[in-house]
Chains A and B, each alone.
Chain A
Amino acid sequence: MPAGGFGRTEIYRNLTPYFVDKDPKKFYWPFKSGHIIPAGNSTYIVSIIDIGENLIGEKVLLRVSPPITLKEVAPYYGIFTWFALWPFYAFLLTCYGCILIFMSVRKKSTKNVPIINVRLQKQMKEEELNNLERDAQTLPDPKDREELMNAIAELREAQSNFDLERKAVVPTERNKPKFRDYSFTKFVKIIFGAIIFLVLCLSLLVLVLPLVHHFNGDTSINIIKLFSTVFPVVIASAMILYFLVRKSHKEREALKLNSIAQQFAKQKLIFQLSTIGLIVFTVFVIVVTAPVIKEYSASGYVVAFGFFLGYWLLGRKFWRCPSCGYRLSFLNKHRDRGSIKYCSNCNATLQ
């Protein structure tokens, strides 16, 4: 094709195959496209066979037009054009995040657990310890007996500490906070956590996008340099987040004594691992089926529906109270999973 576009210092010339009587002056209208690039990664070798005299030895840029341009969008790519406005969505999500932070600073007033249940649990623990003490008395060796008695005393102490803590966190009608918890450290912790989370997301984005360019054939990116600078940021922010969400030593010790909480932790781990499995499976399905599927928008809806159905079923199976089997609040926009500390049915401590 003759020169079709002019920039200030550039002239663009489309490479269109001509078929009309092998005449280099004539082209079919509308243009017939020669080749379709398949889904996935493909490598092409473009070689020059013959060239006009005046153009020999000139250095030019060979350009492959992308599916989404300002002028036209390829079929099935339409949905992705909306992501050009991603800063706007990021702004909306940030606002939503701020509202969530504000809401999570407020203490939930629904945690009014009847104190009678705590007493019942305490009684049961005491009974267990009494039984153990009785068994210890029957031991023949005085050394063993003393050792076991000391262990029981330690357990009793831990239990009483745990009870104190329970009393402190379980709001009764008397000590239930009216509206907000004004703890400054908690507020700072949440804000700091949100900033670190943003840093983690952005550094992952910074890591992924140049990698994508690199696999797309862009050799100008130094991958080693990129990884050596961004990867420590990812690791550091992930570790800071981990320490921020980690429970205090006392809380962890208390949860160790609670068999229901331990069982719930196991259940939670299985749930998280199955969710990761579900994500990996979904990606696998997309990668395997992409080259053979024709109707992309329909298959996209099917995959998205399948993923959410799978996630919902996993939640139905694992997000339950281990003590009474009651289904806990799941996929609820007003309550995140971490904020569920007690079963709303049997009031057992969960996490």
Chain B
Amino acid sequence: MVGTIVFHYSSDRTTVELLLKSKEAVKVNLFRFIPHKLELSLVFQRTPGQSRLELGRSAHNSNFKEIGILDFSQPGQPINYQFVTEIKKSYTK
């Protein structure tokens, strides 16, 4: 039962609504049983079939494995964000 609770907890993604606007902030509470890397993503809405070019395209250079760098020709419009933990460590992009 404990294992099932841990599984249920660890496989459930946390989602919060966010308005894309300068200085807009949102609070996220996370609980982890074991340390885990933070991976954030944004979910944009679209009507079926609509291609949104402003979000970019995932086409990139073919030699990325050799040079260790992914180079996107159309990365989409930038989103600069900052996240702050409770101990006031900040990471900016």
A12-43 interface bits toward B, Cβ cutoff 8 Å, 1 = contact, 0 = none: 11110110100011111100011111111111
Q: In angstroms, how far is the closest chain B Cβ from the Cβ of A200?
A: 12
Answer whether residue A81 sits at the interface, using C-beta atoms and an 8 A cutoff: yes
Contact check: which of B7, B42, B76 meets A52 at CB < 8 Å? B76
A56 within 8 A of B: yes
Q: Is the CB of A52 within 8 A of B79?
A: yes
Task: Decide: B41 and A43 in contact? CB cutoff 8 A.
Answer: no
B43 & A212 in contact (Cβ 8 Å cutoff): no
> Which residue of the partner chain, among A38, A52, A65, contacts B54 with CB atoms under 8 Å?
A52
Are B11 and A84 interface neighbours, CB within 8 A? yes
Q: Which residues of A contact B44 (CB under 8 A)?
A: 3, 10-13, 58, 60
Residues of chain A within 8 A of B42, CB atoms compared: 12-13, 15, 60-63
Q: A11-B46, A11-B52 are in contact. Are A33 and B85 (CB under 8 A)?
A: no
Question: With A and B bound together, what is the CA distance between A77 and B8 in angstroms?
Answer: 12
Please, how many angstroms separate the alpha-carbon atoms of A74 and B11 in the complex? 10
CA distance A65 to B65 in the complex (A): 25
Query: CB distance B39 to A58 under 8 Å?
Result: no
* Min C-beta distance of B26 to chain A, whole Å: 5
Contacts of A42 in B (CB 8 A): 29-32, 85-86
A57 to B49, CA, bound (A): 22
**With a CB–CB cut-off of 8 A, which chain A residues contact B38?**
33-37, 44, 64
A25 touches B25 (CB 8 A): no
Q: A9 touching B36 by the CB < 8 A rule? A: no
Asked if A128 is at the interface of the complex by the 8 Å CB criterion, the answer is no
A47 touching B84 by the CB < 8 A rule?
yes
Chain B residues, Cβ within 8 Å of A174? none
Tell me if A36 and B36 are in contact (CB < 8 A). yes
Q: Which of B29, B71, B81 contacts A15 (CB 8 A)?
A: B81
Contacts of A201 in B (CB 8 A): 1
Q: Are B31 and A216 in contact (CB under 8 A)?
A: yes
Give CA–CA (A213, B75) in the complex, Å. 35
> In the bound complex, do residue A29 and residue B69 qualify as a contact, i.e. CB atoms below 8 Å apart?
yes
Contact B6 A83 (CB under 8 A): yes
CA distance A175 to B7 in the complex (A): 53
- Contact status B35-A3, CB under 8 Å: no
A99 is an interface residue with CB less than 8 A from chain B = no
Q: In the complex, which residues 43-59 of chain B have their Cβ closer than 8 Å to any Cβ of chain A? A: 43-48, 52, 54-58
**How far in angstroms is the closest Cβ of chain B from A139?**
61
User: Taking each of A35, A41, A46, A54, which has the highest tally of chain B beta carbons within 10 Å of its own beta carbon?
Assistant: A46
Let me know if A67 is at the binding interface, CB within 8 A.
yes
What does the 1/0 interface line of B53-74 toward A look like (CB < 8 Å)? 0111110000011001111111
Task: Please name 23 pairs of A and B residues whose Cβ atoms are closer than 8 Å in the assembled complex, sorted by A.
Answer: A2-B56, A3-B57, A9-B46, A12-B41, A12-B44, A15-B40, A15-B93, A25-B71, A36-B35, A36-B36, A37-B30, A37-B32, A38-B35, A46-B26, A51-B21, A51-B80, A52-B79, A56-B20, A60-B42, A61-B18, A74-B34, A75-B34, A216-B30
Chain A to chain B: the 5 pairs with minimum beta-carbon distance, closest first: A52-B77, A2-B56, A217-B29, A83-B7, A47-B25
